Amino acid sequence: MKALCFDKFGEADVLYYSDIPEPTLGENEILLEMKSIGLNYADVYRRKGNYHLEGNPPFICGYEGAGVVKQVGSKVTDFKEGDRVAFADVPYANAELVTVSVEKAIPLSDKISFDEAAALMLQGLTAQYLTHDSYKVSEGEWVLIHAAAGGVGQYLTQIAKARGAKVIGLTSKEEKKEAALNAGADFVFLYGEDWVGKVKEVTTAGVHVAYESVGATIMDSFAATRDTGTVVFFGMAGGDPVHIDPRMLMDTSKTLTGGDLWSYLVSKEERLKRSAALFEMVEKGEIKVNIDKKFSLSEGSKAHAYLESRQSKGKILLIP
């Protein structure tokens, strides 16, 4: 089978498209013929050597995607050949064939396309737990969303709006404002301006919750949050956050909480429940999946370079 591989860490040009042996199917696994694969910044970090990788070269990136069951293991009873399946956290997805544990296989209805599923799984499930578990967004609340033009940011915005909240988005460039507004943001401010002041001007008291994914801006997020409000820290794309003084939290009655998707996708039941809730929102039109560009898997190096250029305004997919 063909796969997108790399033997050494480096820039996008270390990636190459090559023949490798087909994966061995375990008794509790299904063999998926991939139809669409999601590209994420985590793949860039793996390619550059920022994450620990097990095994020996050739290495294969990719953790989310969707496809059709080609073969089932000897003990598999939940799936059969021809079933449509997606997954959020299965390695070696940048290949024509991927083995998926039945524990992590998510059935797809005909109402969700392969591309939608591949674009939705990781970022959509992240937005789902952030708005339901880390902080349960309620009608009438003010919500501040960092990187609102990004994949998670757009899903956060749409889910918050579906719950009746008012959303303020933050973006790095003027041209990215449109993506955040199209997702439903009521206001969008730029990082280069006095966004904390503008948030206070719009909300008077500050937001009820700030979804902080930049890291270096965490104290600004606290400044933009009202007393008794919450800052949800779930990423540090802009650098490490400062240490937080617990006395500040006490004096302002503010809450700081962290979030990581893998704390919630702990069982087959959780994956199915959360995915079903997400798919239902798509089917109702409450979430629109924004696909920016599709590359063939053989053009993986171009796709990585495009993602790193920060030009994208939606999900990038790899198509085997």
- 116 located within any domain: yes
- 145 located within any domain: yes
Same domain, yes or no, for 279 and 250?
A: no
pLDDT in single tens digits along all 320 residues of the chain: 999 999 999 999 999 999 999 999 999 999 999 999 999 988 998 999 888 777 788 999 999 999 999 999 999 999 999 999 999 999 999 999 999 999 999 999 899 999 999 999 999 999 999 999 999 999 999 999 999 998 899 999 999 999 999 999 999 988 889 999 999 999 999 999 999 999 999 999 999 999 999 999 999 999 999 999 999 999 988 888 999 999 999 999 999 999 999 999 999 999 999 999 999 999 999 999 999 999 999 999 999 999 988 777 789 999 99
How many domains would you assign to the chain?
Answer: 2
Sequence letter at residue 42: A
Count CB atoms within 10 A of the CB of residue 301: 19
Q: For residue 29, what are the domain limits?
A: 2-120+265-319
Same domain, yes or no, for 51 and 14?
A: yes
The pTM of the full predicted model, rounded to 2 decimals, is: 0.92
pLDDT for position 56: 83
- 276 located within any domain: yes
- 129 located within any domain: no
Angstrom distance (rounded) from CA 318 to CA 320: 7
- 86 located within any domain: yes
> What letters, b where the CB count within 10 A reaches 16 and e where it falls short, cover 253-273?
ebebeebebeebbeeeeebee
- 290 located within any domain: yes
Angstrom distance (rounded) from CA 76 to CA 79: 7
Same domain, yes or no, for 159 and 220?
A: yes
